[in-house]
Amino acid sequence: MLPAVLALLTAIPVSIAEADESPPMMFMPGLYGPYPMTREASGTSWQPDSTPMDGIHHMSDDWMTMWHGFANLIDDDQGGPRGGTKTFSNSMLMFMGRRDLPGGDFGFRMMVSADPLMGKDGYPELFQTGETADGIHPLIDRQHPHNLLMEAAATYSLDVGANGAAFLYAGIAGEPALGPPAFMHRFSGEDNPEAPLAHHWLDSTHITYGVVTTGYVWGRVKLEASSFNGREPDQDRSDIETRHFDSYSGRLSYNPSADWSLQVSTGRLASPEQLQPNVAEHRTTASASYNHMSGNVQWQTTVAFGRNVPMPGSASDAWLLESAAILTDRDTLFTRIERVAKDELFLPDQPLSDRTFTINSASLGYIHDFELFYPVRAGIGGMVTGYRYPPALDAAYGEGPVSFLLFGRVKL
């Protein structure tokens, strides 16, 4: 049944609008199949083909390489009694290389971050939960820093016909086939300097210490499966935490045109949380991203859903809508709207610790970019976030807190 469905999807004619699109001046093939590299995002995930590719690119007879990264300096002011303030920096630098081989391609991906410098307790973010700063207490109303080593993986793809390929992705650090592209790699969300509240429902596995993914590409369809270490990184953000492979996932991706990317995925994570080692989790996600180019305006929107089912425990859901629009070469507006069921807002010995609360948040931000020197750009921006939640949380969070971020960044 599945091969028949995939054959039907790949047989759908290309639209007239897509057929009329001019190919890019420099076609850079992807790591995992015979399609443009602009389709590839974090790990082995896909994004719309029409998504622009930032960074420094170089092509020679044998190799294609790319550098891409950013660094933000952020002044964070989270409102309400449980809010806080902090000035910190988050960052990412990625290097990727690809080499043609007879009948296939070899590639590697490397990504690092200076996030450990912000401290183990990360930065204030109302209603954010997940991971720990000391190995004893959970982080609540704070976003954890990412690790120094975010990805170190090798890839190999084998051509199968004109439109097909089988591929292998293996990394000591990397991202399994689960969820949409990680939030800092989605064009719709990459200008937002704050992690989504839905992070641990959608893309928290983007830093996994030990992962192998194998898959097959049929034109605009990709089916893949991963085996990996399901434990999220601990509070020591500069080490490499190897464990045996105890988790698995699968993902079906489909790009029906150059402007759309769809995925559904599911997986079982064994003992993902360090502080709850006896709790496994089943995760299911679905997402759709749409990218539109019109003159100087580029607009991308992502809608995503995630469900976590702890074993033992009760299921919880998260919804995310985020969008970014480049209005001119220098001005970008972005927004993020979320609805997340949170059951970790209070410690076990506190009142309300056994309750699940539905948190609604909405953010609106703006950034103005200017050229520093090629290929580095700088930007100055700001963001405001408001929240709605049940009255039972008023005593802890106040009535209607508002959070503000001011930030500057450099990007290549």
3-class SS string, 41-70 = CCCCCECCCCCCCCCEEEECCCEEEEEEEE
**Is 2.60.15.10 the CATH classification of the domain at 2-411?**
no
Burial of 262 (0-12, 13-18, 19+ CB in 10 A): middle
Backbone dihedral region for residue 352 (phi beyond 0: left; psi -120 to 50: alpha; all else: beta): left
pLDDT (tens digit per residue) in 212-231: 999 999 999 999 999 999 99
Identify the bridge partners of residue 307 per DSSP, sorted by sequence position: 284, 317
Burial of 159 (0-12, 13-18, 19+ CB in 10 A): middle
For residue 123, the model assigns a pLDDT of 98
Query: Which one-letter amino acid corresponds to residue 90?
Result: N
**Nearest-angstrom CA–CA distance, 180 and 201:** 11
For residue 354, the model assigns a pLDDT of 87
What tokens appear for 7 in the block? 């054959």
For residue 27, the model assigns a pLDDT of 62
Helices (H), 189-228: 199-202
Q: CA geometry: angle at 147 spanning 144 and 151, to 5°?
A: 135
**Nearest-angstrom CA–CA distance, 240 and 151:** 11
Asked if residue 360 lies in contact with residue 388, where contact means CB atoms within 8 angstroms, the answer is yes
Query: Which one-letter amino acid corresponds to residue 14?
Result: V
For residue 393, the model assigns a pLDDT of 98
The DSSP secondary structure of 270-292, one letter per residue, reads SS--TT-TT-EEEEEEEEEEEEE
> In a structure prediction context, what are the per-residue pLDDT tens digits for the chain, which is 412 residues long?
434 434 434 343 333 233 333 334 356 789 999 999 999 999 999 999 999 888 898 888 789 999 999 999 999 999 999 999 999 999 999 999 999 999 899 999 999 999 999 999 999 999 999 999 999 999 999 999 999 999 999 999 999 988 999 999 999 999 999 999 999 999 999 999 999 999 999 999 999 999 999 999 999 999 999 999 999 999 999 999 989 999 999 999 999 999 999 999 999 999 999 999 999 999 999 999 999 988 788 999 999 999 999 999 999 999 999 999 999 889 999 999 999 999 999 999 999 998 999 999 999 999 999 988 888 999 999 999 999 999 999 999 999 999 999 999 999 8
For residue 364, the model assigns a pLDDT of 98
Q: CA geometry: angle at 305 spanning 301 and 309, to 5°?
A: 160
**Nearest-angstrom CA–CA distance, 327 and 298:** 7
Antiparallel, parallel or unpaired: β 221-228 and 56-59: unpaired
For residue 54, the model assigns a pLDDT of 83
For residue 12, the model assigns a pLDDT of 39
